[in-house]
Amino acid sequence: MSDFIDNRAEEALKKHASGYNCAQAVSCVFCDITGVDEETMFRFTEGLGLGMGGMEGTCGAIGAAAVLSGLKNSTAKLDKPDSKRVSYEASRACLASFKEQNRSVVCKDLKGIETGNVLRSCNDCITDAVKIIEQKLFSEESE
């Protein structure tokens, strides 16, 4: 893993420790690449935390990939949207990689809420998500 990616992951963990939810922590470390200011990104991703608002849904850390994928790939052609497929494929690649690595993308499953078997801690999910997003979405920007 490159120092560049490790630094992003470390920064995301610091943000999480300071009170950012998992989605905010991951998304906000990519503000420099996306061109979105941190306050706006923080607001965009607030509802994605705690498994999309209540642990029943997608882990916020890797759910951030959907937001970041749109920011990277959307052509923003409001009159004739034409980039959804590319954004969906990029999001899917990130989520698939995360699921392959951690056996789930669902917060309650990762936390072992029903089974008592914790698959991955929040900090590990954040680190994994940052690395996957960096590699799948932004590898050319970090070179």
31 falls within a domain: yes
Q: How far is CA 97 from the centre of its chain?
A: 12
Find the domain containing 108 and state its range: 3-137
23 falls within a domain: yes
143 falls within a domain: no
142 falls within a domain: no
Residue 95, pLDDT score: 98
79 falls within a domain: yes
Residue 42, pLDDT score: 98
Distance, CA of 95 to CA of 85 (rounded, Å): 15
pLDDT per residue, tens digit, the chain (143 aa), is: 466 668 999 999 999 999 999 999 999 999 999 999 999 999 999 999 988 887 789 999 999 999 999 999 999 999 999 999 999 999 999 999 999 999 999 999 999 999 999 999 999 999 999 999 999 999 876 55
Split into its structural domains, the chain has a count of 1
- Residue 67's contacts (CB-CB under 8 Å, 6 or more residues apart) are 23, 27, 44, 45, 48
Alpha helices (H) along the chain:
3-17, 22-28, 31-34, 38-45, 49-53, 60-73, 84-102, 107-110, 122-137
Residue 62, pLDDT score: 97
